[in-house]
Amino acid sequence: MTTNKTFTMIKPDAVRNGHIGAILEKITSAGFKIAAMKYTQLSKRDAQEFYAIHKERPFYGELVAFMTSGPIVSAILEKENAVEDFRALIGATNPEEAAEGTIRRLFATDITENAVHGSDSDENAAIEGAFHFSGREIY
């Protein structure tokens, strides 16, 4: 069996609303192993760089303000087919469009404050994991 990795953040809305434990339970119950994890807060510069791909989008300023508005939990997760399976577990970006039982459907506030991040490719999973964790923090 091949295993691979994805990167996630429990975003400030879900942390503020007390959902860290319930979200981690959904993640581990779905078969993801935790390879790295920390409780931290993004600086404005961190968030601008992490979301640089969206810098021309109209929601970029709002996204950076939201992602720096409080602490987050960031983690590297390991599972066979990790990126695709995790995107399925979290559901659509807009929680109103997210499938029943998905993390965003259960815990997100709206399309901006949508509870969790999930990498969209193996390449971005590696880039995003390395942005948040040094080699010594990954097990």
Name which position in 39, 59, 131, 139 contacts ligand RTP (CB under 6 A). Answer: 59
The answer on whether 3 is annotated among ligand-binding residues is: no
Q: Any residues with CB less than 8 A from the CB of 44 and at least 6 apart, and which?
A: 64, 68
Mask of contacts with Mg ion, 93-122, x by CB under 5 A? ---------------------------x--
**Residue 20, amino acid:** I
Cα distance between residue 2 and residue 132, in whole Å: 24
Distance (Å) of CA 125 to CA 7, 60, 118: 5, 20, 8
CB-nearer residue toward ligand RTP: 52 or 139 = 52
**Residue 88, amino acid:** A
Name which position in 5, 82, 106, 118 contacts ligand RTP (CB under 6 A). Answer: 118
Residue among 81, 63, 49 at smallest CA distance from 13: 63
Name which position in 30, 111, 126, 138 contacts ligand RTP (CB under 6 A). Answer: 111
Whether 54 is catalytic is no
Residues annotated within a binding site: 11, 59, 87, 93, 104, 114
Q: Which residues participate in catalysis according to the annotation?
A: 117
